Every structure is written in structure tokens, then in C-alpha cells.
Amino acid sequence: MTQFQRGLTGGQRRLQSFFCLFATVSTASDMDDAIRKAATLIEALSYIRQFQGKLTVIKLGGSAMEDPDALRAMLQDVVFMATVGLRPVLVHGGGKPIDRAMAAAGLQPRKVLGRRYTDDETLAIVVRVLLQEINLDIERQIRALGGRAVGPHMGTIQFLFGERLELPGPDGCPVDLGRVGRVTRIDADLIRDFCAAGVVPVIPSVAVAADGGWLNVNADTAAAAVASLLRAEKLVLLTDTPGILRDRRDPQSLLPSLNAAQVQQLIADKVIDEGMIPKVEACLDSLRAGVRKTHIIDGRLKHSLLLEIYTDEGVGTEIVLGS
């Protein structure tokens, strides 16, 4: 390494290595490939300038967490964002790993009004899987990719605070969901301080209750709460579909952009139903709270995060409040 290279930051060295690709072309096909890469960078430049220093909350879940290659590609996107001066915040769940851990412990998942009922035994597994396994692994991977990250798995940092969630039953009376909660407060200053220093906060979907215990929080609603309370520029939900499809059987029927009125009409028409409803409702809640744009994208597609946010066409569905 030269004296000049030693004076560069890690991020600058990564960008320098990327641009060095253009200095090593030797054939026409190599040159064409390098030109396409350069064009992509130029296209991204205006978006990088536009979102410089602004917060983007990214909810990670579903198959993107089950596929090591997809997860690594997404975390590479996050490291890239932080390297060029953007401020990503990761919020993650862990439904499938939690189900596997419960099965290994001989516990049967129980749903009440579509929510995971969380008794003390279930809560202990949720906290262990989210904090000690998933959160720690994501932090390690970001560091291995050259970035910096911090999560609450050591117990010395808390990002989310909440209260028990009560939902009305068919008779109008509150239904007991156990230790299930909703986010009422976040340590916004701490999150912003980490982001300003180029450190990615990695936040599991559990909140601290007033009694000091944990609450299990739906990851989509946790991400929406974080985005809302931070007044983030964007909220991005990674899912197992290309976005919102007019016909679920046809990936080509992707709806690239929707406003709140169109979303409500699609719900009424049952085009948006089942598991997609809480996701779009999380998007709408965050938009009403001041988040400028929300995105639902396919976490299984490598680098979908960068493709959606930093290219002209995008790859998922963008949801905004007005037309």
C-alpha cells in the first residue's frame, strides 16, 4: 500500500478500488462493461447528492434473511450507503428463526388476531433469537464488509421503548396478546449520533416496557415507528415479492408507484390483502407522520435496495401520500 493509500479512509479506498476497474479494461467487451458501470454511477450521483446526510430506515425480514447471498448483497448496499454519506438505519425481525427455535423447544406458535401470542417462554426465545443471534450476526457481517454497526445485543444500548398492545376483539373488548407491544418512544438522539458518525444502528423488533421487561413488536410496525419518530427521508420494507402486484401470479404486473388513495382502493378491491395489508398500513402511517417516501421491494433480488433508491426506474413499489 502506498503512502497515499494509507492516508485514505476505508470508504475512500473501496471507492478508489471500484474506479480502478475502469483502468484495467483490455477488450471491447471489458470497455462496454466499464462504461455501463460508469453510467450507473453517474445516474446514482444525483440521488446520492439529494439524500446526503438524510436518514433511510430499512426493514429487513422474510426470505432476504434466510438466503445468505441475498443478505450479504443487501448489507453491501447498506455499507455503500453509509460510505457515501447517507445514513441507513436497519430494523429487523426474525419470524422464521423464531418459529424454528420454538419448535426445537417443543413450543407451538399461537396466533391471536393475526399476531404472535407471546407468553414468557415465547418471549425468552424471541429475545434470544433476535438479540443474541440475528442482531449479533448482522453487526458482524457489516463489519466484515468494511462498515461499522452497533446493535443492542450486549444489553448496554436500548433503541426502542413501548407499551403493551391492546387490540379490540369481535365483541369490542380488549384481547390479551401477552408480551406483545407497540413502540411509543425511541432514543432518536442516540440513533442520529451513530448515523452521523457513519455507524449503522441495527435495531431488533423488541421494545423495553415501563417495567423493564421486553415486548415483542411486529417488525413492520417497529420500522414504521422508527422512521416516523426520526422523521426519516425514506422507509424501505424488504419483502418476498417484487412489490405490489395487480395480479399476484404475474410479476410483470408490478405497480411502480402508488399514492395513499390508490392504496386504499386496492385494499377495497382485495388486490392488496393478507400479509401485505400491515406493510402498506405501516407505510401510510409513516407518511402521515412526516416520512417523505416509502418503498416495498423484493429482498431476494440482489442489490434491490440500491436499484430502487438510486436508479431512475427502480425495482419495487414506491408509496407516497399524495399524487
Confidence (pTM): 0.84
Architecture of domain 54-320: 3-Layer(aba) Sandwich (3.40)
| % of residues, the chain, pLDDT over 90 | 59
Can you give the pLDDT at residue 5?
Answer: 43
Can you give the pLDDT at residue 234?
Answer: 93
Please give the backbone phi and psi of residue 77, each rounded to the nearest 5 degrees, phi first: -60, -45
Environment class of residue 192 by beta-carbon count within 10 Å: exposed (0-12), middle (13-18) or buried (19+)? middle
d(CA 306, CA 292): 18
Confidence label for 21 from pLDDT (cuts 50, 70 and 90): very low
Q: Read off the DSSP letter of residue 314.
A: -
Coil, helix or strand for 179? coil
Domain layout of the chain by residue ranges: 1-50, 54-320
CA-based nearest residue to 314, from 146, 184, 298: 298
CA-based nearest residue to 97, from 132, 126, 68: 126
What pLDDT digit, counting tens, does each position of 213-271 carry? 999 999 999 999 999 999 999 999 998 888 999 998 898 899 999 999 999 999 999 99
Query: Contact, 199 vs 81, CB < 8 A?
Result: no
Coil, helix or strand for 157? coil
CA separation, residue 53 to residues 13, 44, 48, 49, 121 (Å): 20, 15, 9, 9, 41
**Cell triple for residue 94?**
426474525
User: Residue 296: is its pLDDT beyond 50?
Assistant: yes
What number is the average pLDDT over the span 62-82?
89
What pLDDT digit, counting tens, does each position of 148-192 carry? 999 998 888 999 999 999 888 788 888 889 999 999 999 999 999
Can you give the pLDDT at residue 27?
Answer: 64
More confident residue, 114 or 198: 198
Which residues lie closer than 8 Å to 48 by C-beta, 6 or more apart?
Answer: 84, 85, 86, 310
Buried b / exposed e over 140-166, threshold 16 CB at 10 Å, is ebbeeeebebbbbbeeeeebbbbebbe
Coil, helix or strand for 54? coil
Can you give the pLDDT at residue 315?
Answer: 86
What number is the average pLDDT over the span 82-108?
93
User: Residue 311: is its pLDDT beyond 70?
Assistant: yes
Query: Contact, 58 vs 226, CB < 8 A?
Result: no
Helices (H), 162-275: 188-196, 219-230, 260-268
What number is the average pLDDT over the span 284-312?
88
